[in-house]
Chain A
Amino acid sequence: MQNTHIQINNLSKVFTQHILRGKQISAFKGVSFEVERGLFVGIAGLSGSGKSSILKCIFGTYVASSGEIIYCLENNTVIDLAQSSARQITRLRGSEIGFVSQFLRAQPRTTALELVARPLLNAGVPRPEATERAQLMLERLGISSELWDGYPVFFSGGEQQRVNIAQALIRQPRLLLLDEPTSALDDRNQSVVISLLEEAKQSGVTIIGVFHDRALLNRLSDKVITMEYGRLLV
């Protein structure tokens, strides 16, 4: 147990739609698994099987309906994310837990470079260093320098996705949640992202990832778990 980074116990998520006369939609049910520090666990399964919902419950975007999300902090304190306050979660998001979604949420009037440098600036890195590291990251991801001072709203889907990844990987979190981060990328960019993820893993980041591409999932993951109709296949 010493090495467990995150342990999901009997986690379930049901959406109750009060405005549809209390209609209930179950996302997943009774899911349990654990991830050791520094490992890459891939979640496979068809669309709608509850993969992303599990990630969102861990990140706090969804409220878990029952079960536990036991998380081991950097200082070895253990907390249940399913019971943590919103403030606790926002602090963890700033320091420990990163999420890469499929889509970029562009901020108005914020350039690509600024967007990528921001996590570093928020962590107190001086601006010149933050800017330089952001430039290197964008360069590696093949975003040409003429786009750096452009607004990502006007970028192509693949460029937006790479800005999104750059933003998440620039400051390595301890736990990285990936929700199909490579779906809009061509092969060359995908392999850059893969090598970035492998580097992150090498430096000790624990990763839970959802990918549609089964070959990619097998290549990256130390362990693959499969979801079917909201349940974990054993």
Chain B
Amino acid sequence: MITETAQKQANVEVETPLLVVENLTRLYGHGCPRCLELTGPETGTNTCSNCGTLVACADVNFEVYEGEILGVVGESGSGKTTLLRCLYGDVAPTKGQAFLKSFGNGRQDIFQASSQQARYLQDFVMGMVRQNPAQGLHLHITAGGNIAERLLAAEWRNVADIRERSGALLNRMEVPLNRMDHYPAFFSGGMQQRVQIAKALANHPVLLLLDEMTTGLDVSVQAGVIDLVKEVQRESGVAIVVVSHDLGVIRLLSERTLVMKNGRVVENGLTDQILEDPQHPYTQLLVSSSNS
């Protein structure tokens, strides 16, 4: 019977993920034994009523595969940005582990990396685009200079080569070359985000983290940035985790999506499944409230 062979299911899944995140938890505060039970989507808060600790993320588990775009959606305060900041090494998680295929043979926990290794991960393995360009760019260093900073970290030393590579990256992100020597402080929001993406891609990362990169941009600019990200992803094969509160952005970009609420992942599935057949009450509320 054909059904019996379905037991072989496990054998089909031989693909090793690029990134595995296990039990990622980040608390802000002293913490108490009841923090996790008193917070979460059931209680509708992420502040522990016993000790006042803020539970930004708790027991988050997921994988990212090579060449895919994973969406993370949820309301403000659901823990999306904390998740990215922990992965990028901006903040240390309270608990949990994460393994990157290209780091220590995929066996070394990136959360336990030394400061030198963490620097290496930020400079060569990952790229981050932040919601606020002022955090991701030096606004009073030229656009070209911002990218050169990443290249210098990768030991590029020849000025002509650096200029050529910066120019190529900016050009790819549709930033006019005559703006290369201008300060991003005087760029439009969309252009600042495109410079950030160019900068993040400078050293050929394997994982790109995008934090609300289109929030605050008008729709036509937003569509342009989204399309560029898709093109770059196709060309370079970089895996992307894209965080957004906007289901429209997630729908256009990602194949798989995590839904977060009060620091927890409440649903994890195919993006079209999340949008057309949401399972969790919160996802149903989110989808029914959205017009995208």
Contact = CB atoms under 8 A, between A and B. Distances in A.
Interface in B1-46: 1-3, 5-6, 8-9, 11-13, 15
Interface centre among B12, B223, B276, B280 (most CB of A within 10 A): B12
Contacts of B12: 73, 77, 79, 88
B160 interface: no
Contact of B268 (A9, A80, A86, A108): A86
Interface residues of A, number: 36
B173 to A, nearest CB: 14
Interface in A50-100: 56, 60-63, 68, 70, 72-73, 77-80, 83-91
B89 interface: no
Given A19-B281, A56-B276, A60-B270, A77 B11 contact: yes
Contacts of A122: 234
Interface in B243-281: 252, 255-256, 268-270, 272-273, 276-277, 279-281
A145 to B, nearest CB: 23
Contact of A18 (B8, B13, B284): B284
B6 A62 contact: no
Given A61-B277, A108-B223, A19 B284 contact: yes
A1 B65 contact: no
Nearest to B277: A62
B8 A60 contact: no
- Secondary structure at the B interface, as helix, strand, loop or mixed, is helix
A86 B68 CA distance: 12
B75 to A, nearest CB: 15
Given A77-B12, A87-B15, A87-B65, A15 B277 contact: yes
Given A77-B12, A86-B269, A86-B270, A63 B279 contact: yes
Contacts of A77: 5, 8, 11-12
A80 to B, nearest CB: 5
Contacts of A85: 13
A102 interface: no
A191 interface: no
Nearest 7 pairs of A and B residues by beta carbon:
A108-B223, A18-B281, A78-B5, A109-B227, A62-B277, A80-B6, A90-B255
